[in-house]
Amino acid sequence: MAKKKLLVVTGGGDCPGLNAVIRAIVKRAAQSPDWEVWGSIEAYNGLLRTPKEIVLLDSAAVAGIHVRGGTIIKTTNKGGPFSWPVQNPDGSWSAVDRSDELVEILRQEGFQAVISIGGDGSQRISKALYDKGVPIIGVPKTIDNDLAATDFTFGFQTAVQIATESFDRLVSTAESHHRVMIMEVMGRHAGWIALHTAIAGGAEVCLIPEIPYDIHKVAQRLHQRFNNGRGFAHVVIAEGAKPKDGTITARLATEVGYENLRLGGVAYQLSAQLRAAGLTADIRETVLGHVQRGGTPIAFDRVLATQFGVKAFEMVLAEQFGQMVSYRNNTIVSVPLQEAIANYNYVQVDSFLIQTARGVGISFGD
Ligand code: F6P
């Protein structure tokens, strides 16, 4: 008898734990022998390309991959079925909607379910495909932890661990040289990584997108620290942080089909602003960048990702389409995709985490 076919895609920026989700889906599916699992290379691109790039994901393909960073089926945060880049005769690029074609390809290939592992943008695509009749289930991923309707996304804790270990390394060099160290971490609109790292590492200042900073208050806090006879200080800043009445530090991307602004470099802006505000101490900047997204996931994320994968397949069996796997109150549940994309998971400025940071003397420059 012909097997039922499940398609798995990974979309958006990569994230530690993607492979652990894929492995869990395949292992759980192996207990339901009437199913087979396929992966499309680079999100839906593999199905939309000629020739198609789809691979069978069997036990051999996923053996041991839970330990590996990245995604064995690749990913992309450019274009997509609703805005596929095409080059015009004059060399410029425009986008076409290939979503109906994708729906037809999924039907022709006999896929009876799709699991899409991705962040905000990917889940929007999932919801739009679901509205076109695709039986789809979402799995939330992003190191930024900015996806609503789940307490945590996998990959976030690994990014925090990498940032905290980097922070710890900066402490000894800052102390030796009596310097201000500014460490920039990822976080476009939400300061989760910065906030967790600042608390875990013991920063003096933490600057996040949700709390625009007053540079004079930041400078004052750092002055105070030097006047106390402790001649070094640490600032953690999220890439999307901005001063009061100021703008984010970003540049336009030139890559075809890339719709995001490219962030990164706010640490250097902050350094210049602190100089202008009269801080005389030596300042050094570290931009962690994509090192936060690479490498092996920590155990927490492997466990969370594995739970997400098993749950996602069980939702396929239960035909809970149009839903996303979610981690809430220490258990794994499902939530409507609509709920996941309706809101954005900002750090709540009145949360106990912010209160905790303030309680141990961390300044947000407000
Ligand atoms: O959304 C996750 C994220 O890591 C952001 O924090 C960051 O701004 C962005 O991706 C970088 O994306 P890219 O890989 O396209 O440079």
Closest-lying ligand 1 atom to the alpha carbon of residue 77: 15
Structural domain contains residue 339: no
In three-state form (DSSP H/G/I as H, E/B as E, the rest C), the secondary structure along 16-83 is CCHHHHHHHHHHHHCCCCCEEEEEECCCCHHHHCCCCCEEECCHHHHCCHHHCCCCCCCCCCCCCCCC
How far is residue 302 CA from its own chain's centroid?
Answer: 15
Q: Are residues 218 and 95 in the same domain?
A: no
144 assigned to active site: yes
- State the pLDDT at residue 258: 87
- State the pLDDT at residue 259: 81
Q: How far is the CA of 13 from the centre of ligand 1 (A)?
A: 6
Q: Is the dihedral of CA 316, 320, 321, 324 positive or negative?
A: negative
Structural domain contains residue 306: yes
Residue 240 CB less than 6 A away from ligand 1? no
- State the pLDDT at residue 254: 87
Q: Are residues 238 and 262 in the same domain?
A: yes
Q: Which domain holds residue 183?
A: 159-293+348-359
Q: Are residues 126 and 215 in the same domain?
A: no
Residues with Cβ within 8 Å of residue 89, at least 6 apart in sequence: none
Residue 153 CB less than 6 A away from ligand 1? no
Q: Which of 14, 144, 146, 301 is catalytic?
A: 144
Instruction: List, for residues 226-241, the tens digit of each pLDDT value.
Output: 876 668 999 999 999 9
> CATH number of the domain that 119 lies in?
3.40.50.450
> CATH number of the domain that 195 lies in?
3.40.50.460
Q: Are residues 81 and 42 in the same domain?
A: yes
Please choose from 71, 153, 186, 248 the residue to mutate so as to test ligand 1's pocket, defined by most ligand atoms within 8 A of CB. Answer: 186
- State the pLDDT at residue 230: 67
Q: Which residue's CA lies nearest to atom 10 of ligand 1?
A: 13
- State the pLDDT at residue 225: 87
Structural domains in the chain (count): 2
Residue 188 CB less than 6 A away from ligand 1? yes
Please choose from 124, 144, 197 the residue to mutate so as to test ligand 1's pocket, defined by most ligand atoms within 8 A of CB. Answer: 144
Residue ranges of the chain with pLDDT lower than 50? none
